[in-house]
Amino acid sequence: MGRGVREILYAIDEHKSIKKASEVTGISYPKVLHRLKAFKDELGFAAVVSEKGGREHGGTQLTEKGRAALECFREIENEVIAFAQKRVQEKFIF
């Protein structure tokens, strides 16, 4: 799990489409599918669920656990930013 999966989940949550997520992240469609499968294999649950039906009726959305994983990514990201800001303030005292 890493930045690519986080970006993919963010994009799917926003656009409700694996294809659109691929376009906006710049990650190829096959690689997006591969990363979603690797995520599922690693954690034991699917992060997304897709419904066929085309532009009008289909789409992809995060599962409940996928949404929870995305929230974990967001929390960790915020913690890392806060930690980095604190360390910069501690270290850059001249």
CATH number, domain containing residue 46:
1.10.10.10
Q: Which residues pair with 51 in a beta bridge?
A: 59
- Report how many domains make up the chain: 1
What domain range is 80 assigned to? 3-91
Q: What percent of the chain has pLDDT over 70?
A: 95
The span from the CA of 72 to the CA of 78, in Å, is 10
Sorting pLDDT into bands at 50, 70 and 90, what band is 12? Answer: very high
Mean of the per-residue pLDDT values of the chain: 92
Q: What is the 3-state secondary structure (H, E, C) of 10-45?
A: HHHHHHCCHHHHHHHHCCCHHHHHHHHHHHHHHHCC
Residue 93: per-residue pLDDT: 85
Q: Which residues contact 39 (CB under 8 A, 6 or more apart)?
A: 1, 5, 47, 69
pLDDT digits (tens, 9 = 90+) for 20-66: 999 999 999 999 999 999 999 999 999 999 988 766 677 999 999 99
Residue 45: per-residue pLDDT: 96
For the chain, state the CA radius of gyration: 16
